[in-house]
Chain A
Amino acid sequence: MSVAVENIPSKFEVLDRALESEMTLSMGPQHPSTHGVLRLDLRLDGELVIKAIPDIGYLHTGMEKLFEYKKYQQGIVITDRMDYLNPLGNNLAYVMAAEKLLQLEIPERAQVIRVLMCELQRIASHMVWLGTHCLDIGAMSVFFFCFREREKILNLIEAASGGRMTPSYFRIGGLMMDLPAGFERRCNQFLADFPAAMDTFDTLVTGNTIWQSRTQGIGVISREDAIDWGLTGPSLRGSGVDMDLRRDNPYTGYETYDFDIPVEQNGDVWARFKVRMRECLESYKIVRQALERLKPGPIKADAPKVVLPDRDDMRKHMDSLIHHFLIVAEGFNVPPGEVYHAIEASKGELGVYMKSNGGPKPERVHFRGPSFVNLSALPVMAEGEMIADVVAIIGSLDIVLGEIDR
């Protein structure tokens, strides 16, 4: 018995029209291009994104609660684990908020080293951004070149602080310790190779027509929307707003350095890409200037009740020993008050709200993470785009879930 072919009902219907119903697709939290554990609830019409709802909190570890149970100096190590691509920036924001409450004067050499290390860290953070952004869109080899450069910076950070990813190098009142011998030589070695590496990236990525067509005109956010949604950092400057806290609310002596602030007008993925690429070279300029300014001098503030004494002093002076014991065992009291200190981290404005009620532990520490706020604007950029472009948009925002979820 045979059945005519045309009588078999087709299992699949070929549609030449749009679906009437929208489809919900859950992207993440294990999706590799969500840079961690971000989940997106995508409402789709075919491949078109109608609505994108970010779902966060998978990495929440209650850091803000933990700060209230730790002494001020113990909080520094928690900050390392927030934005783990820019730990020195987190350290800086936290210690500067505490220093503002304590009204400490930081010596010149410590300030220069802070700028130097933060700008190296910014380059390292941008290298991870570039590598993973390219990887998301499909360019594999850039990733390896980026991580090679980043590795050199992490080696420098390790030489200074002992930790690659979790340095905790800045302390309230100064630095953990001085730079090791030969640091300047190693840093200069890195700097000598860096412009050539940036040229490699330009050849590999910037001039690549596939890259350009995947990024130009994608994920546009207007200047007004960018401000309204609180975007900061390179994402804001990609939308034509000339704002950088290093120049506009200067801290640690940034006002004395000579650097430009790259701004792009289009507000798309390509604009944010170009801003970050040029920022790497601006950071390179700042590192150069900071290296020239390194003069011998103290690296800790003159505040024996707050800053741990030198090891050598403790062996010779009774009062140093007492101070050391008291700081470690009981902590130091911070005058009552509240501050909000914001710095320009690699991803945008990193603000710390710190409230003290006079004791050795803060009453409240709140981090305003740039990734948190930048991600909240994702629906504005993703709606109306194709699903494949959502990946490009997430990459262009440079989010770190450790900081978003805290």
Chain B
Amino acid sequence: MTEKLRVYVDALKAENEGWLTDVKDALGEVTITTPRETIVDMCSFLKKEHGFDMLADLCGCDRGPEEDPRFEVNYHLFSTTHHNRLRLKVLLSDDDPHVESVTTVWRTADWHERETYDLVGVIFDGHPDLRRILLPSDFDGHALRKDYPLRGYEPYSMN
């Protein structure tokens, strides 16, 4: 692990050991897996104490219907002052894909969470306006799930 990123992992451990279920260090990037209940606390801690003032990206990923936990939500944190990046990861099961929204920490999470809800079907509790963003509001299913066929269930009509 690069030294500059170890500082943040150690700080998180010192603050609350329960926040980190897994720490992975690969290809120069650090991925911290955290329980879904603590993601908002962890994000506001990193923002307030360690200058991660920008949420660069938030994206969902479907591992496939046979996997458990099935969904991943990745938070890519970035700092405009020290320019380091961290990846936080939350794992969610198929029958309960709920996670607390981080729009209270960074407002840019708004559209990212709507996109993740739209395409992967993860539900962000506490989001101010969780609607579909890219697909039409009457679209059936979530297109980026592995069990969603590439060409859809039927030819989609705009009527």
Instruction: Check A24 for interface membership: any CB of B closer than 8 A.
Output: no
Are the CB atoms of A57 and B133 closer together than 8 Å?
A: yes
Are the CB atoms of A100 and B27 closer together than 8 Å?
A: yes
Are the CB atoms of B61 and A405 closer together than 8 Å?
A: no
Are the CB atoms of A57 and B136 closer together than 8 Å?
A: yes
Instruction: Check A337 for interface membership: any CB of B closer than 8 A.
Output: yes
Are the CB atoms of B87 and A230 closer together than 8 Å?
A: no
Q: Which residues B51-73 have CB closer than 8 A to chain A?
A: 53-57, 59, 61-63
Given contacts A60-B134, A340-B76, A353-B76, contact A101 B57 (CB under 8 A): no
Residue of B29, B108, B119, B148 near A340 (CB, 8 A) is: B29
Are the CB atoms of B57 and A366 closer together than 8 Å?
A: yes
A243 to B106: give the CA distance in the assembly, Å. 18
A340 to B29: give the CA distance in the assembly, Å. 8
A56 to B29: give the CA distance in the assembly, Å. 32
Are the CB atoms of A368 and B59 closer together than 8 Å?
A: yes
Instruction: Check B31 for interface membership: any CB of A closer than 8 A.
Output: yes
Q: Which residues B104-128 have CB closer than 8 A to chain A?
A: 106-108, 110-112, 115, 119
A353 to B61: give the CA distance in the assembly, Å. 10
Are the CB atoms of B80 and A227 closer together than 8 Å?
A: yes
A42 to B115: give the CA distance in the assembly, Å. 22
- A101 cross-chain contacts in B, Cβ below 8 A: 27
Q: Which residues A216-244 have CB closer than 8 A to chain B?
A: 227-230, 236, 241, 243
Given contacts A57-B135, A228-B107, contact A340 B85 (CB under 8 A): yes
Query: Looking at chain A's contact residues, is the secondary structure mostly helix, strand, loop, or mixed?
Result: mixed
Instruction: Check B14 for interface membership: any CB of A closer than 8 A.
Output: no
Bin chain B's interface residue count: 35 or more
Are the CB atoms of A368 and B76 closer together than 8 Å?
A: yes
> In chain B, what residue has the closest Cβ to A404?
B134
Are the CB atoms of A373 and B27 closer together than 8 Å?
A: no
A56 to B112: give the CA distance in the assembly, Å. 13
Number of A interface residues, CB 8 Å? 39
A147 to B108: give the CA distance in the assembly, Å. 33
Given contacts A351-B56, A376-B110, contact A363 B61 (CB under 8 A): yes
Given contacts A230-B56, A340-B29, contact A364 B61 (CB under 8 A): yes
Are the CB atoms of A230 and B54 closer together than 8 Å?
A: yes
- A364 cross-chain contacts in B, Cβ below 8 A: 59, 61-62, 144
Q: How far is the CB of A68 from chain B (nearest CB, A)?
A: 8
Are the CB atoms of A349 and B80 closer together than 8 Å?
A: no
Q: Which of A65, A243, A337, A405 has the most CB of B within 10 A?
A: A65
**Interface pairs (29), CB distance under 8 Å:** A56-B133, A56-B134, A57-B132, A62-B143, A64-B119, A65-B150, A101-B27, A227-B53, A227-B80, A229-B107, A230-B56, A241-B80, A338-B29, A338-B87, A339-B27, A340-B87, A342-B85, A349-B56, A349-B78, A351-B76, A353-B57, A363-B61, A363-B63, A366-B57, A368-B57, A368-B59, A372-B115, A377-B108, A405-B134
Q: Which 7 A-B pairs have the closest CB atoms?
A: A230-B108, A368-B57, A366-B59, A248-B83, A376-B111, A57-B134, A60-B134
Show the binding face of A for B, using Cβ within 8 Å: 56-57, 60, 62, 64-66, 69, 100-101, 103, 227-230, 236, 241, 243, 248-249, 337-340, 342, 349, 351, 353, 355, 363-364, 366, 368, 372-373, 376-377, 405-406
Show the binding face of B for A, using Cβ within 8 Å: 26-27, 29, 31, 53-57, 59, 61-63, 74, 76, 78, 80, 83, 85, 87, 106-108, 110-112, 115, 119, 132-136, 143-144, 148, 150
5 additional A-B pairs beyond A230-B56, A353-B74, beta carbons within 8 Å, are: A230-B54, A241-B80, A338-B26, A349-B56, A373-B112
